[in-house]
């Protein structure tokens, strides 16, 4: 993988593999705007205040087109993220603004694991589901700025 002057553009043009990426210094609105202009379906989560499981799952339900029967638990979350409207024809970008959240805390860590699993699922099925995690990079999330 070669170094790209704009890793967000590399991700959106699929020169960079789908997955969960940290972007510590990025602006969530700018990332979302660029992705939408490139034809991606963009979802934004604002987790700057809290990353409690209940708040996180409520935002996902409200913003990611989960079905009405969604139950707020991790298994249902993974299932719903693998069954989003539009099927494989839609490129999706989840922008998570979590600037002051400890990504090693239990809810965040579980959420990151689910996102990586979901991204791999969509890739196996010929689609793209990527995540840009705005905030502090973690040991288990590669940073776009490091490319």
The string of pLDDT tens digits covering residues 34-65 is 999 999 999 999 888 766 788 889 989 999 98
pLDDT for 112 beyond 60: yes
Which range of 17-26, 103-112, 122-131 scores highest in mean pLDDT? It is: 122-131
CA 132/CA 23 separation, integer angstroms: 6
Structure tokens at 79: 């299932």
User: 10 Å Cβ neighbour count for 51?
Assistant: 20
Measured CA distances, 100 to 3, 96, 138, 139 (Å)? 28, 12, 12, 16
Q: Using one digit for the tens of pLDDT, what is the confidence trace for 114-143? A: 999 999 999 999 999 999 988 766 666 777
> Residue 18's CB: how many other CB atoms inside 10 A?
19
Average pLDDT over residues 5-13: 77
Average pLDDT estimate for 28-33: 91
Contact 91, 40 (CB under 8 A): yes
Amino acid 56: pLDDT: 86
pLDDT band at 2 (very low <50, low <70, confident <90, very high): very low
pTM given for the model: 0.88
Q: Is the pLDDT of residue 5 over 60?
A: no
Buried b (16+ CB within 10 A) or exposed e, 96-122: bbbeebebeeebbeebbebbeebbeeb
| 133 Cα distance to chain centroid | 6
Rounded mean pLDDT, 71-90: 93
- Say what the pLDDT of residue 87 is: 87
Mean pLDDT of the chain: 85
């Amino acid at each position: 993988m070669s170094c790209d002057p704009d890793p967000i553009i590399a991700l959106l043009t699929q020169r960079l593999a789908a997955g969960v990426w940290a972007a510590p210094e990025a602006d969530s609105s700018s990332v979302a705007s660029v992705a939408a202009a490139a034809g991606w379906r963009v979802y934004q989560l604002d987790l700057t205040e809290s990353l409690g499981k209940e708040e996180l799952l409520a935002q996902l339900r409200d913003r990611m087109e989960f079905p009405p029967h969604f139950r707020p638990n991790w298994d249902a979350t993974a299932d719903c993220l693998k069954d989003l409207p539009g099927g494989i024809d839609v490129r999706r970008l989840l922008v998570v603004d979590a600037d002051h959240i400890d990504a090693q805390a239990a809810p965040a860590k579980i959420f990151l694991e689910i996102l990586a699993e979901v991204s791999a699922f969509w890739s196996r099925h010929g689609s793209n589901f990527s995540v840009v995690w705005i905030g502090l990079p973690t040991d288990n999330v590669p940073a776009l700025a490091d490319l």
